[in-house]
Amino acid sequence: MTTFPELGLRSELLRALDDVRYTVPTPVQSEAIPVVLDGKDLLACAQTGTGKTAGFLLPILHELAYAKGPRLRALVLSPTRELAAQLGKSALRYGKYLQLRSTVVFGGVGLGPQIDQLERGVDLLIATPGRLLDHMQRGNLSFHALSAVVLDEADRMLDMGFLPDVRRILNALPAERQTLLFSATMPAEIERLAHDVMQSPVVIDVGPRATPVSTVRQVLYLVEAEQKGRLLHYLLRRGRLRHVLVFTRTKSRADWLARQLGETGRQVEALHGDKSQRLRTRALDGFRTGRIDVLVATDVAARGLDVQGISHVINFDVPQVADDYIHRIGRTARAEAQGDAISLACLDELSYVRAIERSLGATIPRKMVRGFEPGPLTVRQFTQPQASRAARLATGAIRHFAPRGQKRW
Ligand code: AMP
C-alpha cells in the first residue's frame, strides 16, 4: 500500500493531510498523484466519494508551490457553484501551509469582489464555465502563465449543456499545458472531448464505472404516488432520521416537499437552482452544522455536495437517469463510511428502476410498510411475476413493518 510521503508530496501538504487525518491515499489518489506530478495528461474515470478531489488538488498545489507568484497557473472547471465552493475549501484545507492564493468564481453573485480578487492575483482559480467566460470577455484574466487545467465532473458538464463553453475556454488556454479530466462516467461526447483537448492521456479507471460505493445499503419502498409524502414522514419518524438528504425530480416538488415536512415540525430547507446563492449557502451551512436536519434537493443543486455524516439519502422520486441514482447515493457513505439509500417507487417509476438495476447489475431489495402498501398491480410489476407473494414473503423478498401511530398530512 502506498503512503502519502511515498507519493513524493511536499512536507507542507503532508502536514495538512495530517490535520485532516487522511492516513492512506485512496485508490484514485495513489494512481492519479504520480501521473499529475509527472506532468502527463490524465483521463480519470472516478465517481464521487472516491477522494478524486485530493487526487488532483494535491499534486497541483505541490507543483504551484515551486514557482513564484501569484500568477494564474492552474484552473479547475466545475459544473456547479456548490462543487466550485467545495473545491475552493479543499484547496484552502490542503494548501494551508503553502503561500499560495486560490479563489473561486461562479455566477449568481456580484462580479465586483471577484474582479478585485483576480486583480490582486491568484495561483489557482476554480470556476464554473459561464462566469469564467464572463470574466474572460471582460478582460479580467490572463492565461499566459497557465500550465494546468482540470475538468471536474465532466459528465455533469455535458448533462448541463456546458461542453461548448468548456471548449471555448480550453481554446483560449495555452496549447502547452497539462489537462486533467475527471468524470464518473465516460459517455462518447466526453471521450471525444478528451481526444480533442488532451495529449496521449494516461487513463485510469477506479472501480467499475458508475458503480455505487459498496458501503451504501440500498432499499426500494413500493408505494402509491400520492402516499409518498406520508411514507417519507413515517420513515423519518420511525428511524429518527437526522441529517437526511432527500431528492426530488423538480424544483417545484422540492419546494412543496420542504413545506410539507416543515409543517411536521422538522427543520427543513430546499436546495435548488432557483434559490439565490445566499439562500443556497445558508441551506448548506445549516445542513452542515446540524441546524437543518432534512435538505430537499434537486440533482443539479446537490452535485458535488460534500457533507460528512449524511446518514440517509432518500429518493423521494426515482431519478430518470441511472447515473443520477449513483451520484445521489454517493452523497452518503463518503470515504468508506456506512450509509443508507432509500428510494420511494411508484408504478410510474418502474421503468427508471429497471434501468437503474440494469446499470447496477443487481436488484435493489424491495420493501413495503404496512398501511402504505400499493395496489396489487404495483406489487406484481415490481416483484417477480412467477413467484407467489406468499412465497416471497416466506423467503424474505418482501418484508413488512408495522407503523406506530401514523400521522396524516
Ligand atoms: P471526493 O471524492 O473528492 O469528493 O472525496 C470524498 C470524501 O473523502 C471527502 O469528504 C474527502 O474529505 C474524503 N477523503 C479524500 N481522501 C481521503 C483519504 N485519503 N482519507 C480519508 N478521507 C479522504
- The architecture in CATH of the region 5-206 reads 3-Layer(aba) Sandwich (3.40)
Q: What pTM was computed for the model? A: 0.62
Burial class for 83, CB neighbours closer than 10 Å (0-12, 13-18, 19+): buried
78 lines ligand 1 (CB under 6 A): no
Which of 30-44, 65-79, 208-222, 364-378 shows the lowest mean pLDDT across its residues? 208-222
Give the Å distance between the CA of 53 and the centre of ligand 1.
7
343 lines ligand 1 (CB under 6 A): no
**404 pLDDT tier (thresholds 50, 70, 90):** very low
> Which amino acid makes up residue 300?
V
Domain ranges in the chain with CATH number 3.40.50.300: 5-206, 216-401
- Report CA Rg, the chain: 23
Q: With 80 as the cut, is the pLDDT of residue 1 above it?
A: no
The whole-number pLDDT of residue 401 equals 44
The number of the ligand 1 atom at minimal distance from the alpha carbon of 49 is 2
**CA 209 – CA 337 distance, rounded (Å):** 20
Residues in Cβ contact with 385 at an 8 Å cutoff, skipping those fewer than 6 apart:
none
Return the H-helix or E-strand segment holding 243.
Answer: none
Enter the C-alpha cell of residue 388.
407467489
Sheet holding 124-127, edge to edge: 102-105, 124-127, 74-77, 148-151, 178-183, 42-45, 202-205
Question: Cα dihedral sign for 262, 273, 341, 289?
Answer: negative
Instruction: Convert the pLDDT of each residue in 61-106 to its tens digit.
Output: 999 998 887 899 999 999 999 899 999 999 999 999 999 999 999 9
C-alpha angle 109/113/117, rounded to 5°? 125
Above pLDDT 90, what percent of the chain? 59
Q: Say which CATH class 216-401 falls into.
A: alpha beta
Enter the C-alpha cell of residue 56.
488532483
Name the residue among 1, 5, 24 with its Cα closest to residue 13.
5
Instruction: Convert the pLDDT of each residue in 100-141 to its tens digit.
Output: 999 999 999 999 999 999 999 999 999 999 999 999 999 999
The whole-number pLDDT of residue 243 equals 84
**CA 153 – CA 60 distance, rounded (Å):** 17
49 lines ligand 1 (CB under 6 A): yes
Name the residue among 200, 147, 206 with its Cα closest to residue 178.
147
**CA 258 – CA 272 distance, rounded (Å):** 12
**CA 379 – CA 236 distance, rounded (Å):** 23
Give the Å distance between the CA of 52 and the centre of ligand 1.
7
Q: With 50 as the cut, is the pLDDT of residue 390 above it?
A: no
The whole-number pLDDT of residue 398 equals 45
**2 pLDDT tier (thresholds 50, 70, 90):** confident
Q: With 50 as the cut, is the pLDDT of residue 226 above it?
A: yes
**CA 390 – CA 381 distance, rounded (Å):** 16
Phi, psi of 352 (to 5 degrees): -65, -40
Q: With 70 as the cut, is the pLDDT of residue 389 above it?
A: no
**CA 108 – CA 131 distance, rounded (Å):** 9
22 lines ligand 1 (CB under 6 A): yes
The whole-number pLDDT of residue 256 equals 96
> What number is the average pLDDT over the span 236-254?
89
> What number is the average pLDDT over the span 146-154?
97
